[in-house]
Amino acid sequence: MSRLWIIVAIFSLLAVAVEAEPKVALRAAIALESDELWLSDFLPPDAPGTLRAQAAQVMLGRTPRPGSVRVIDRIELEHQLRPYLWLRRLSIPPRMTVSRLGYRLDPDPIRTAMESALRSQGAETKLGPLDMSAAPLVDSPAPPLQLLDVRYDALRQKWNARLVLANVPASPPFLVTASAPESVKPPRTGPAAPPAQPVLKVGQRALLLLNDEGFRATIPVVCLQAGLPGVDIRVRDEVSGRIYRAQVDASGQVELAK
C-alpha cells in the first residue's frame, strides 16, 4: 500500500511541476510545404527544446492540398493528446489552421506547348494572354505536364487547352484558355468567305450520338445553343432532362464531346 502512495505522490509532484511551468501558446495559423503535420509545427520558435522534442513525436495527420486550409478544433486536439502529461504545458487556441504552400504554374511552357500543338494541326497562331484561373497550385515550381488537346471556341473566340499533371496519378484535367489576337492567317487569294452559319438553332431537335468502344446509340435532344460545325454546344435529353456537351459536325449531327 505504501508503494502505491509513493507512486501517486510522484505523479502528483510531476503534475504540480508541470502546472508551475509557464505555458507555451501554440500558433493559431501556420503554412507548410511538407505533406505531414506534426504538433511541433505549431510551436513558436522560442519553445523549449524538450517540449519541441516531445511534440515532434506527435503526428497530427496530413497537411491539406496546396492552396487549401485544414482547421483543427481545440477539443479535437485535446482529445488526441489526452495521454500526454505535458499537454498541460500548452495553451491551445480554440481553432488552429494549417495551409499548404503551393506554386502557381508557369504560363510560358504551357503557351509553348499549345502553340506547338496548333502548328502540328496546321494553325500558325501566336496566342494572347493565358487565363490560368482554373489551374491548380502544385508542389514544385515546374512539374511535368501533359497536354491532352487544344480546341478553338468560335463563340468566345478563345483557344481551350486541357492539361493534366503527369506526375500525379488520377490527376483531374484542368482548363487553360487563351485569346488569339495575333493569329497569323495565310493571305487571301480571293473574295472573303461569308461568315459560317449555324447548322443547328437554339431549341432545334437533334439526335445525340453516343459512341463508346463500339457501343453506338442515339437519343433525342434539344439544342440549348446555336451550333457551328466543329463547335461544342450544350444539349438537353428530352426524356431525362440531363444536359450534355456535344460537338456539331457539318451535317448537323451532334456527338457526345470527349
189 within a domain of the structure (yes/no): no
Please check whether residue 110 is in contact with residue 145, taking contact to mean a CB–CB distance below 8 angstroms. yes
From 77, 100, 123, give the residue that closes a domain. 100
Residue 56 belongs to domain spanning: 2-100
200 within a domain of the structure (yes/no): no
Counted domains in the chain = 3
Of 17-26, 144-153, 162-171, the poorest mean pLDDT is in 17-26
Question: What would the grid cell of residue 41 be?
Answer: 509545427
**Same-domain pairing of 6 and 83:** yes
| Number of other residues whose CB lies within 10 A of the CB of residue 208 | 20
Residue 189, pLDDT > 70, answer no
Q: What is the mean pLDDT of residues 108-119?
A: 88
Of 61-70, 93-102, 184-193, 248-257, the poorest mean pLDDT is in 184-193
From 100, 117, 146, give the residue that closes a domain. 100
**Same-domain pairing of 78 and 51:** yes
192 within a domain of the structure (yes/no): no
Q: What is the mean pLDDT of residues 39-64?
A: 89
Query: How high is the pLDDT of residue 78?
Result: 86
**Same-domain pairing of 119 and 96:** no
Contacts 24+ apart (CB under 8 A), 218-222: 221/246, 221/254
**Same-domain pairing of 215 and 156:** no
From 63, 83, 100, give the residue that closes a domain. 100
* Residue 164, beta-bridge partner list: 146
Query: How high is the pLDDT of residue 21?
Result: 59
Query: How high is the pLDDT of residue 43?
Result: 93
15 within a domain of the structure (yes/no): yes
Q: What is the mean pLDDT of residues 37-59?
A: 90
175 within a domain of the structure (yes/no): yes
Report which of residues 21 and 65 the model is more confident about. Answer: 65
Of 5-19, 116-130, 138-152, 177-191, the poorest mean pLDDT is in 5-19
Residue 257, pLDDT > 50, answer yes
Query: How high is the pLDDT of residue 188?
Result: 47
Report which of residues 224 and 198 the model is more confident about. Answer: 224
Q: Where are the alpha helices (DSSP H) in the chain?
A: 2-20, 49-55, 74-80, 107-120
**Same-domain pairing of 96 and 32:** yes
**Same-domain pairing of 120 and 90:** no
Q: What is the mean pLDDT of residues 68-93?
A: 85
Report which of residues 128 and 72 the model is more confident about. Answer: 72
**Same-domain pairing of 131 and 215:** no
166 within a domain of the structure (yes/no): yes
**Same-domain pairing of 156 and 229:** no
Give 53's DSSP letter. H
**Same-domain pairing of 224 and 171:** no
**Same-domain pairing of 25 and 91:** yes
27 within a domain of the structure (yes/no): yes
Band (226; pLDDT cuts 50, 70, 90):
confident
**Same-domain pairing of 162 and 235:** no
190 within a domain of the structure (yes/no): no
CATH number at residue 214: 2.30.30.760
Of 35, 12, 20, the closest CA to residue 101 belongs to: 35
| Residue-averaged pLDDT of the chain | 80
**Same-domain pairing of 11 and 89:** yes
Band (191; pLDDT cuts 50, 70, 90):
low
Residue 123, pLDDT > 80, answer no
Query: How high is the pLDDT of residue 9?
Result: 52
Query: How high is the pLDDT of residue 229?
Result: 80
Band (181; pLDDT cuts 50, 70, 90):
low
